[in-house]
Amino acid sequence: MESLPNQLSNDRILVRKVLTGDQRAFSQIIKETEGLVAQIIFKMIANSDDRKDLAQDVYLKVYQQLDRFRFQAKLSTWIGQIAYHTCLHHLERKKIALVPIGDSDREPSPGFSTPFENEIEGQLMREELSQLVASAMDQLNPIYRTLITLYHQEELSYSEIGQIVQLPEGTVKSYLFRARKALKAHVLRIYNTNIG
Amino acid sequence: MNTSHLTDQQIQLFVFQQGNEFEPWATHMATCKECQLKATLYRSVLEEVANLEKPVFNIDLASQVISQLEPIKPSIDFSRTLVGFIVLVLVSWLGSIVYWTSHELASLFTRLSSMATYLILLTSSSLLIFLVISLYQEFLDKMKRLTLS
Ligand SMILES: [Zn+2]
C-alpha cells in the first residue's frame, strides 16, 4: 500500500491530466478504484443490473465533479463517498429499508450459542465457517454490511470510513459495534437452524 | 472465579483494538473460558469476512464509462473546419482585391499619405488581433466544456 503523501501526489497528477482532457488518466482512476466501488455497490445493492448502472453513474458523477475535488481526502475515499451516496439515494428512491438498527439484528439467547462456540474451539471446518459467514453477511442490512466490509476486508480506517459515509468517527465505531454483534447473531442463528 | 465477565463491547474492543488500555481485561480473559469463547467467535467470524471473495464487475467498466463521456473528436474537427473556412474566405477576399486592383497597386503606397497608411495598418492589424484572440478564446471555451461535461 502507498503512503498517504505519495498517494495524494499521485492523485493530483491523475486529476490534473483528466482536467486537461486526458481520458486514459480517467480510465486509470477507474481501474485503481473500481475494487472499492464494487465492494460498496455489491454490499448495498442486490440487483445485478442496478449494480452495473450505478457503477457507471458513479464514475460519470466523478468525471463531472472532478474539478470540485479539493484533495482533502484520498481520491479513492472521495470516489467511495460518491458511490456510497449514489447507492443510498437509489435505495431511498426504491423505498428499501436501510437501517433497522436495534430490531431485526437481535441476538439469540445466550444458551443458544453454546454448541457453536464449542465447535469453534474444536476447529469447525474452515469452508463451513466461510459459508456461514457469507450467508450471515447477506442477512445484514446494507449499511452494516458495507461498514463491516470497509473495515475488515478493505482495511480502511475509522476516519476514512467516516469520510465515505459522512458520519463522525464515533458514530462509525458505534455502528461497527452493532454491526459485528448483529453479524455474530446471524452466524449463530444460521448455524443453529442448520443443526436443529 | 471472577464472575464479572466482559461486556460484548469490551470483548470487541479487546479483540479488534489491541492496546495497553485493555490490560486489565487481559487478566480476566486469560482465566475466563466463557469470555475466551466469545472473543474467539468474534475473531473467527471477522477473519472469515476478511477472506471472503471480493466482488468484481463482469463488464469492462472503464471502457463503458469512457465511451459515454463525450464526443471529443467531432467538436475539435468542427473548430478546425471553422478556422479553415475563415482563412479561406480571408485569402480569397484578399486575392480578389489584389486581382482587381493590381494595375493600381504599384502606385497605391506612393500616392497615399503616410498618415493614411498608418491608419490603414493600425485598423487592419487591430482587426486581425481581435479575430485571433476571439478564435482562441472560443477554442479554450470548447476545451473547458469538453473537460467538464
Ligand atoms: Zn468472563
Which of A64, A152, A187 should be substituted to probe chain B, the one whose Cβ sees the most B Cβ atoms within 10 Å? A152
Structural domains in chain A plus CATH codes: 4-93 (1.10.1740.10), 103-195 (1.10.10.10)
Q: A99-127 pLDDT, tens per residue?
A: 544 444 444 444 445 556 655 555 566 77
Q: B109-118 pLDDT, tens per residue?
A: 677 777 887 8
Q: How confident is the model at residue B74 (pLDDT cuts 50, 70, 90)?
A: very low
Residues 75-104 of A with CB under 8 A from B: none
pLDDT at B32 over 80: yes
Distance between CA atoms of residues B114 and B112, nearest Å: 6
Predicted TM-score of the model (pTM): 0.71
Domain boundaries, chain B: 8-51, 102-149
Nearest CB to A177 within list B12, B37, B59 = B12
| Closest to A175 (Cα-Cα) out of A143, A134, A142 | A143
The ipTM assigned to this model is 0.85
Cβ <8 Å between A56 and B62: no
Q: B124-138 pLDDT, tens per residue?
A: 888 988 888 888 888
Average pLDDT over residues A22-31: 97
The C-alpha cell that represents A27 in the structure block: 480510465
Q: Searching chain B, which residue's CA lies closest to the CA of residue A152?
A: B50
Cβ <8 Å between B49 and A133: yes
Q: Is A102 left (phi over 0), alpha (psi -120 to 50) or beta?
A: left
